[in-house]
Structure 1
Amino acid sequence: MMSGRVLHAQLHLLDRQLIDEHTGRLLGKIDDVELDLDAGPPVVSALISGGLRIPAHQIAEIDTAVKILRQDLDLDRHDDWVERHIIDKIPGAGDATE
């Protein structure tokens, strides 16, 4: 007998908000999923957000958002780069990131 929940990645995972389970902080959105095709049936082995891989064992809960055990994941890295190199250079945008 198979245990666990059956989820459809397209409906239940992709483009869902990632939330730090401990702080409740919004961390980003799920861009893609990585599958373990050697498992039968295939299972999600990781979530991809902002080019970073979040291993499946760090997923705490899947609901309307996906709560993860952050454990030093730097999901803001790309947002910080965009802020420093693009947004801060737009005239009048000095207060936009605050």
Structure 2
Amino acid sequence: MITIAGGSVMADTKGIVRKRHRFLFIAPDANEVCVAGSFNQWDPEATPMKKRRDGTWYAVVYLSPGRYEYRIVVDGIWTDDPNCPTRRPNQYGGTNCIFEQL
């Protein structure tokens, strides 16, 4: 894997370019926060977030250009991201957040 521009862009050995995407979520009382989505096969443990002192959680992933859906998992409970402007209903009665990685 090759890192370019201080870690904001990566290319793997096949030349596929992936750009950095950062997730942020505020949950000061949470013990564990993860992000699950179409980029990690909806695995609620695949992308754990790290907690900052101010109660903000973050995770960084590198993704190819495309449209992705996700949800936040807080202490095992699937949760909506209140900062997500674009959503679509999912089959479980909730909503998935949508973002476009350019």
TM-score normalised per structure 2: 0.21
Where is the strand percentage greater, Structure 1 or Structure 2?
Answer: 2
Kindly indicate whether structure 1 or structure 2 has the higher relative contact order, using CA contacts under 8 Å at least 6 residues apart.
2
Where is the helix percentage greater, Structure 1 or Structure 2?
Answer: 1
Q: Which is higher, the Rg of structure 1 or of structure 2? A: 1
